[in-house]
Amino acid sequence: MTTTSLPLFILGQGTDPGSERGVDCPGELPPASDPELVDRARRAKQALGDRLFVLGHHYQRDEVIQFADVTGDSFKLAREAAARPSAEYIVFCGVHFMAESADILTSDAQKVVLPDLAAGCSMADMATFNQVEEAWEALEDAGIADVTVPITYMNSSADIKAFCGRHGGAVCTSSNARRALEWAFGQGEKVLFLPDQHLGRNTAVLEMGMSLDDCVVYNPHRPPAPEALRDAKMILWKGHCSVHGRFTAQCVDDVRARIPGVNVLVHPECRHDVVTKADFVGSTEYIIKKLEAAPAGSSWAVGTELNLVKRLAGMFPDKNVTFLDRTVCYCSTMNRIDLPHLVWALESLAAGQVVNQITVDADTAHWARVALDRMLTLI
Ligand code: 13P
Ligand code: SF4
């Protein structure tokens, strides 16, 4: 796929606690031009041996993903982190909320490191703890809090996960959102879905047969009237992914006109009209498996983050894999983790210095773990 001549957009800059810290590796970041970076990363990894486990989300750059011991979507990576009790250091090549989840799911003796603390997520930032507490009070005032189950997408801060744990809810990912919603509707009559309205709406309407009228959007700055909350089955938080939000129904029409017979394959963080027009929808793991199984010569327009789409185009040269949008768009915060930051983190660990450790306080971790464990049992 040729992408370099297209306009370049980088979206998704988060302002979550990670990016607000601002300082990550004062004065010690190796220059990106250092030709030794790959060897340095290799040597540091080798020196750390089994004490180190590197997780890489599919949206990471190629220069980083080559050092991942395991790659995956957020669900797979959460499970992998939980399954490595012997690793002293978990280096998380992903974004802040993923590293928080890894810290929650690992023991106190294990240290989770995020190579660049500015790798946040703008979607996660769209639901703050205070806003969600206020929303819950609005549900109490409307008389529906005791029949509402809060479900939060993995892409949320630890305190939102803990909120869900405290209120009988669970976490979900794009791989298991339907199962999480089925579970939730077995516990109560309504769901407060945080923070991605699109994943919530797409799952409820396209996978579970609800109607758009069953859904109400909860704008924390202008909450819906109590009657609207009482009438809805799905209360969708007004959050979205700025990267997946770029894909439009027009992109789908355009690519179908450009490439006859193209299969449109999108992530459920895309808008409802895009997902409705697509042929296939699923998490990043699903997208990869779908392309693996596709016949040679078939054409695919993929609506998800560009690092992954470019990698897939390279992995399957016998298939025509293209990016769904005409403009190039990376997730800026996923892209914050680059080789210099990874080398800096690994060399610091090899020298005995733990840098950029992500820790979640004990009470938050306890309740977030309750919500995460509910998810992990929904296999
Ligand atoms: P998944 O890894 O759950 O597919 O989510 C995509 C994403 O946007 C992660 O930030
Ligand atoms: Fe957040 Fe979207 Fe980037 Fe994922 S792709 S980290 S949801 S901004």
Nearest CA residue ID for atom 2, ligand 1: 73
Element (H or E) spanning 103, and its range? helix 96-105
> pLDDT tens across 262-280, in order?
999 999 999 999 999 999 9
Q: Which CATH number describes the domain made up of 34-118+334-361?
A: 3.40.50.10800
Ligand 2 in reach of 322 Cβ (< 6 A): no
2.30.29.30, 1.10.530.10, 3.40.50.10800, 3.90.76.10: which CATH number matches 127-239?
A: 3.40.50.10800
Q: Please identify, by atom number, the ligand 1 atom nearest to the C-alpha of residue 267.
A: 4
The pLDDT of residue 13 is 44
Query: What are the residues facing 151 on neighbouring strands?
Result: 170, 193
Closest CA to 221 of 346, 280, 134, 331: 134
- pLDDT of 185 strictly over 60: yes
First to last CA, the chain: 35
* pTM confidence score: 0.91
The pLDDT of residue 25 is 56
Q: Which residues contact 63 (CB under 8 A, 6 or more apart)?
A: 38, 338, 339
Please report which confidence band the pLDDT of residue 19 belongs to, taking 50, 70 and 90 as the band edges: very low
The C-alpha angle with vertex 174 and arms to 172 and 175, in degrees rounded to 5, equals: 90
Ligand 2 in reach of 119 Cβ (< 6 A): no
Average pLDDT of span 335-347: 97
Lowest mean pLDDT among 31-40, 148-157, 183-192, 324-333: 324-333
- Average pLDDT over the chain, rounded to whole? 92
> pLDDT tens across 74-90, in order?
878 988 988 999 999 99
The pLDDT of residue 2 is 28
The percent of residues above 90 in pLDDT, for the chain, comes to 86
Q: Please identify, by atom number, the ligand 2 atom nearest to the C-alpha of residue 122.
A: 8
Average pLDDT of span 339-350: 97
- pLDDT of 10 strictly over 50: no
Ligand 2 in reach of 122 Cβ (< 6 A): yes
Q: Are 344 and 68 in contact (CB under 8 A)?
A: no
The Å distance, Cα 179 to ligand 2 centre, comes to 22
Superfamily designation of domain 244-330? NadA-like (3.40.50.10800)
Ligand 2 in reach of 121 Cβ (< 6 A): yes
Distance CA 72, CA 27 (A): 32
The pLDDT of residue 329 is 79
The percent of residues above 70 in pLDDT, for the chain, comes to 93
Q: Please identify, by atom number, the ligand 1 atom nearest to the C-alpha of residue 95.
A: 10
Q: Are 234 and 191 in contact (CB under 8 A)?
A: yes
Ligand 1 in reach of 101 Cβ (< 6 A): no
Element (H or E) spanning 302, and its range? strand 299-303
Ligand 1 in reach of 173 Cβ (< 6 A): yes
Q: Please identify, by atom number, the ligand 1 atom nearest to the C-alpha of residue 73.
A: 2
- pLDDT of 378 strictly over 90: no
The pLDDT of residue 26 is 52
The Å distance, Cα 240 to ligand 2 centre, comes to 9
Nearest CA residue ID for atom 2, ligand 2: 241
Ligand 1 in reach of 73 Cβ (< 6 A): yes
Query: Where exactly does CATH 3.40.50.10800 map onto the chain?
Result: 34-118+334-361, 127-239, 244-330
Please report which confidence band the pLDDT of residue 4 belongs to, taking 50, 70 and 90 as the band edges: very low
DSSP strand pairing (263-266 vs 299-303): parallel
The pLDDT of residue 310 is 95
Ligand 2 in reach of 123 Cβ (< 6 A): yes
Ligand 2 in reach of 284 Cβ (< 6 A): no
- pLDDT of 128 strictly over 60: yes
Ligand 1 in reach of 241 Cβ (< 6 A): yes
Q: What is the dihedral of CA 366, 370, 376, 379, to 10 degrees?
A: 180
